[in-house]
Amino acid sequence: MTSSQNLKPQRGSAHPTTTIQTDVAIVGAGMVGGTLACALARNGIRTAIIDRLEPSVMVAPEFDGRASAIALSGRRLLEMVGIWRHLEKRSGPIREIRIADGQSLLFLHFDHADLGDEPLGFMIENRHLRAAIATEMHQHPGTLTTVAPASVTAMSSDADSATLSLDDGRKIRASLVISAEGRGSKLREWSGISVNGWTYAQTAIVATIAHERPHDGIAHEHFLPAGPFAILPLPDDGKTHRSSLVWTERADAATAYMALDDDAFLMEISDRVGGFLGALSLIGPRFSHPLGMQFASRYTAGRMALVGDAAHSIHPIAGQGLNLGLRDVAALTEIIVDGKQLGLDAAHPEGIARYERWRRSDNLLMATVTDVLNRLFSNDVGPIRLSRDIGLAAVNRIPPLKRLFMQHAMGTVGDLPRLMRGESLT
């Protein structure tokens, strides 16, 4: 690892001589980094987590208006690390998924009852997930140290540890440093890890709506020429039925839609939703996020590892971005905890290499699938439209293939880490 170049000067140092010694240091206290911190601390790994923002900022409603679809395997992970108990009343089950290509009469329908009693997944507003993570982080004062607000200004390593220098003068020494900083990871850049990717010239517009009729736990995804339009079932708020909308639109058109007043914006939404939910109204602000795909050439460098969007960022067409990050969390936690039980360093080369092998191929496959799906469905070319409609209908009529697709949506296939199978690490 190398230190960064052209760094801003340090501000006044309140802790000029403080060095925090820990096993693992995580940079980034978002949903992936925070979950990883809880998982490690709960399993006896001394952990420090650093973020440039005050924790209270990340749980404010205006900070993140999105909602996430958590797969069944992701829920098991959150249960095993103590986070899910804070979310029981904040999550809503996804019992069915209905996928349609524009106005085509051909469709694909997934029903959880075809596999058993468990829902296909769960919808949770990001602000509630962040709050649950923050609550659980406070349950581990002996093994988890939160350092925020603070920014990392440099990183270096030697044979025994890695050292992070903070802008308040403190230093953190750890056996392993983990970047959970998101797409613009500084630690990834400083470690010389390149990224490959592209933008989609698409923007995701996110809004929450109230509606007259219940959604019955059904998620809808309509493929329109500009991109998918998803209606995702949120838990009721009192007597109010609610859904989260993820509207993928061309970047130039999205700017114009975001500039509309609430009445005009609601008319656009109502036209795309249709009348099956009854009368609609907007709840809270709307948000927009430019879309792209990004993939790190490596996941590790010496005593540093990448998780979540720092390693991979994909199109939201399948709702799997956070779930891939949670798989990173479960895999890396298992490797570190198993290594500790054998007396190994958290950054033991064999363990770090295993993490990269384990997660990189899975993430690359999902990145490729979402990229192909977006390019296949985000157009209105007649022959392509006909082929994809026939494909949707064919999957819908082949029960074994349909069940396999549902199992992928639930995150229950592949080489799952033990935490995602609901198994303890100790």
Tokens linked to 385: 């439209």
Q: Is the pLDDT of residue 385 over 90?
A: no
300, β-bridge pairs: 305
- Sign of the Cα pseudo-torsion (50, 52, 56, 61, in order): negative
- In angstroms, the CA 241 to CA 275 distance is 15
Average pLDDT over residues 8-19: 53
Which DSSP state fits 403? H
Provide the residue range defining the domain that includes 320.
19-91+123-197+293-377
pLDDT in tens, 183-238: 999 999 999 999 999 999 999 999 999 999 999 999 999 999 999 999 999 999 99
- In angstroms, the CA 59 to CA 102 distance is 36
Residue 78 lies in a domain: yes
Per the model's pLDDT, the better-predicted residue between 6 and 175 turns out to be: 175
Please measure the distance between the N-terminal and C-terminal CA atoms of the chain and give it in whole angstroms.
32
Instruction: Give me the residue label for tokens 């025994």.
Output: 160
Q: What is the pLDDT of residue 390?
A: 83
pLDDT in tens, 308-354: 999 999 999 888 999 999 999 999 999 999 999 999 999 999 999 99
- Percent helix / strand / coil, the chain, rounded to 5: 35, 30, 35
Residue 346 lies in a domain: yes
Task: List the CATH number of the domain containing 166.
Answer: 3.50.50.60
Residues of the chain with pLDDT > 70: what percent? 96
282, β-bridge pairs: 209
**Short-list 179, 191, 170, CA closest to 18:** 170
> CA-based angle 83:89:90, to the nearest 5?
70
- In angstroms, the CA 68 to CA 50 distance is 23
| Radius of gyration (C-alpha) of the chain in whole angstroms | 22
Residue 36 lies in a domain: yes
Tokens linked to 146: 């939160």
Per DSSP, helices labelled H in 161-241 are: 186-190
Residue 87 lies in a domain: yes
What is the length of the chain?
Answer: 426
Average pLDDT over residues 15-31: 89
- In angstroms, the CA 120 to CA 307 distance is 25
**Short-list 111, 312, 318, CA closest to 228:** 318
Residue 421 lies in a domain: no
Residue 259 lies in a domain: no
146, β-bridge pairs: 49
Residue 109 lies in a domain: no
pLDDT grade, residue 17 (50/70/90)? low
pLDDT in tens, 120-144: 999 999 999 999 999 999 999 999 9
Residues 172 and 47: beta-carbon distance below 8 Å: no
Give the count of domains, the chain.
1
pLDDT in tens, 255-309: 999 999 999 999 999 999 999 999 999 998 999 999 999 999 999 999 999 999 9
Residue 359 lies in a domain: yes
